[in-house]
């Protein structure tokens, strides 16, 4: 049952105190009306979705396709991995070693700091924190523990199959061999199927703020791990790094039989152009899926192209709310869903986004988007349709979903 009725959210401010002279053009009024959520409102949302007890969402069998394995690095795990080799963890605010786990935890508190940075500043801060977390990943055991930590969490959320992203360049540039990382992931992947019933295939992301040559070099290093890696994506800071800059790698990946996808982050200044490249051009004829790309909802031509090609989209609403602060985020998710586009919800970087995991993000759609039980089942059908699991795994999850 939908227990949304018992939740009381503050209504976002609509700038009611502003006075608009009659001659202000309509588009400007619309822009001003793009209301921005206060941090207090975001914190209220966060508390509500963090504490939810929605049995339907919890028990529903699920697939997760948009989660960065490095974005699941909890402060507890980071502390444990550092302690394991007698190292300290740097506090990104003071540049001094953290004295305690709670000091480290405080550096993960995004909403306390967002006022200072705005969207761009917020993303810069996010990447500083996110890449900072890589430093404790050094040997095979570290990568194994990171992946197992996520798989255990996934099992507790009834996730049956997932396609986590990983960022190999963020590790090799620190001197970690490609093989070390893959060996750790492989051991965790086998254990997750055997002990937890969680199936997984990996999505290798190229860092778009590094060079296309580095991307190609890492693509070639990944070829011996074809049995683990199902697709190639592109992530990291998007500013002035369009998808087609990496076209050589995507062309090659498609020719070799990998699936291809690409991040189009919400709020990037060139997002409509970038979504267009991903839809129609990447890999020669357009990608197999789009990561984010929420602003397609603002452009009827793009929306029709996505729909016409029946492209799946992975959508992570909580991250957009945190980093763009725009109140209209959930409206856009609704627009895509109601247009019949096969969107699937993800958690992106749950540890760096206020500890909000897949079930919490689904609950956000319950409380802010009035998604019903039937619509949650449809979202999971979408996820099964657009994931790249084997036919057997897809059929088993669909059956379980229908029985549920
Ligand atoms: N890498 C990890 N998280 C990311 C995000 N939210 N956007 C782009 N690149 C990322
Ligand atoms: Zn992402």
Which ligand is closest in space to the CA of residue 203?
2
**How crowded is residue 307: how many other Cβ atoms within 10 Å of its Cβ?**
15
The residue ranges of every structural domain in the chain are 56-403
pLDDT at residue 328 above 70? yes
Residue 68 CB coordination number (10 Å) = 24
> Which tops the pLDDT comparison, 327 or 367?
367
Residue 367 has pLDDT above 60, yes or no: yes
236: left (phi over 0), alpha (psi -120 to 50) or beta: left
Question: Does residue 8 surpass a pLDDT of 50?
Answer: no
Full strand arrangement of the beta sheet holding 199-200: 62-64, 159-162, 199-200
The answer, yes or no, to whether residue 370 has pLDDT greater than 70, is yes
Atom of ligand 1 nearest to the CA of 352: 3
Q: Is 139 left (phi over 0), alpha (psi -120 to 50) or beta?
A: beta
**Ligand 1 mean position to 51 CA, how many Å?**
25
Residue 298 has pLDDT above 70, yes or no: yes
Mean local confidence (pLDDT), 173-200: 98
Asked whether 236 lines ligand 1 (CB < 6 A), one says yes
Which residues does residue 90 pair with via DSSP β-bridges, in sequence order? 97
> Distance from the CA of 6 to the center of ligand 2, in angstroms?
32
pLDDT of 358 over the 70 cut: yes
31-58 pLDDT, tens digit per residue, is: 334 578 888 889 999 999 999 999 999 9
pLDDT at 2: 39
Helix, strand, coil % (nearest 5) of the chain?
55, 10, 30
* Position in ligand 1 atom list of the atom nearest CA 70: 2
Share of the chain above pLDDT 70, in %: 89
pLDDT digits (tens, 9 = 90+) for 121-138: 678 889 999 999 999 999
CA distance 389 to 387: 6
Cα R_g (the chain), whole angstroms = 21
| pTM, rounded to two decimals | 0.91
pLDDT value for 261 = 98
Distances, alpha carbon 252 to alpha carbons 29, 219, 223, in Å? 46, 9, 11
Q: Any idea which of 21-30, 81-90, 299-308, 369-378 has the lowest mean pLDDT?
A: 21-30
As a whole number of angstroms, the distance between CA 354 and CA 50 comes to 9
Residue of 38, 107, 50 whose CA lies nearest to 75: 107
Cα–Cα dist 219/228, whole Å: 13
246 has pLDDT over 70: yes
Distance (Å, rounded) from C-alpha 222 to C-alpha 179?
9
Question: 6: pLDDT confidence band, cut at 50, 70 and 90?
Answer: very low
Assess whether pLDDT exceeds 60 at residue 21.
Answer: no
* 3-state SS class at 292: strand
Q: Does ligand 1 have an atom closer than 6 angstroms to the CB of 263?
A: yes
Structure tokens at 346: 């993800």
DSSP 3-state assignment of 263? strand
Written as six digits, the tokens of 95 are: 């540049």
**Residue 202 to residue 186: CA distance in whole angstroms:** 10
Tell me if 349 CB under 6 Å of ligand 1.
yes
- Centre of ligand 1 to C-alpha 24, Å, is 37
Alpha carbon distance 81, 227 (integer Å):
28
Q: Does domain 56-403 have CATH number 3.30.465.10?
A: no
Does 235 contact ligand 1 (Cβ within 6 A)? yes
Give yes or no for residue 12 having a pLDDT over 60: no
Euclidean distance between CA atoms 327 and 14, whole angstroms: 10
Asked if the model's pLDDT at residue 139 lies above 70, the reply is yes
Average pLDDT over residues 295-305: 97
Q: How far apart are CA 109 and CA 318, in angstroms?
A: 15
Residue 189 beta carbon below 6 angstroms from any ligand 1 atom: no
Across 369-374, average pLDDT: 97
Q: How confident is the model at residue 29 (pLDDT cuts 50, 70, 90)?
A: very low
């Amino acid at each position: 049952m939908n227990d949304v009725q018992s939740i009381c959210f503050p209504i976002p401010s609509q700038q009611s105190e502003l006075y608009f002279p009659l001659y202000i053009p309509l588009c400007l009024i619309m822009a001003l009306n793009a209301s921005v959520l206060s941090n207090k409102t975001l914190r209220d949302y966060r508390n509500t979705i963090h504490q939810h007890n929605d049995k339907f969402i919890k028990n529903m069998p699920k697939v997760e396709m948009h989660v960065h394995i490095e974005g699941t690095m909890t402060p507890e795990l980071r502390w444990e991995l550092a302690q394991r080799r007698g190292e300290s963890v740097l506090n990104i605010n003071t540049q001094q070693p953290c004295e305690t786990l709670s000091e480290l935890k405080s550096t993960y508190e995004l909403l306390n700091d967002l006022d200072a940075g705005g969207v761009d500043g917020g993303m810069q801060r996010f990447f500083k924190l996110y890449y900072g977390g890589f430093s404790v990943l050094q040997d095979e055991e570290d990568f194994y523990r990171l992946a197992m930590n996520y798989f255990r969490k996934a099992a507790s959320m009834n996730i049956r199959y997932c396609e986590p992203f990983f960022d190999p360049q963020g590790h090799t540039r620190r001197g970690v061999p490609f093989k070390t990382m893959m060996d750790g992931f492989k051991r965790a992947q086998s254990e997750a199927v055997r002990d937890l019933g969680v199936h997984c295939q990996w999505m290798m992301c190229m860092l778009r703020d590094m060079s296309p040559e580095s991307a190609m070099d890492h693509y070639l290093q990944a070829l011996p791990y074809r049995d683990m890696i199902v697709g190639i994506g592109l992530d990291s800071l998007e500013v002035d790094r369009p998808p087609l800059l990496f076209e050589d790698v995507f062309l090659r990946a498609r020719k070799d039989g990998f699936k291809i996808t690409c991040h189009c982050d919400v709020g990037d200044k060139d997002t409509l152009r970038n979504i267009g490249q991903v839809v129609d051009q990447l890999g020669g004829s357009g990608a197999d899926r789009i990561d984010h790309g929420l602003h397609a909802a603002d452009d009827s031509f793009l929306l029709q192209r996505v729909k016409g090609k029946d492209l799946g989209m992975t959508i992570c609403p909580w991250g957009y709310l945190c980093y763009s602060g725009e109140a209209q985020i959930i409206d856009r998710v609704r627009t895509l869903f109601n247009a019949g586009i096969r969107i699937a919800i993800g958690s992106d970087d749950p540890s760096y986004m206020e500890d909000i995991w897949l079930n919490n993000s689904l609950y956000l759609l319950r409380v802010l988007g009035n998604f019903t039980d039937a619509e949650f089942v449809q979202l999971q059908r979408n996820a099964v349709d657009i994931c790249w699991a084997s036919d057997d795994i897809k059929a088993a999850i669909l059956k379980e979903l229908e029985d549920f």
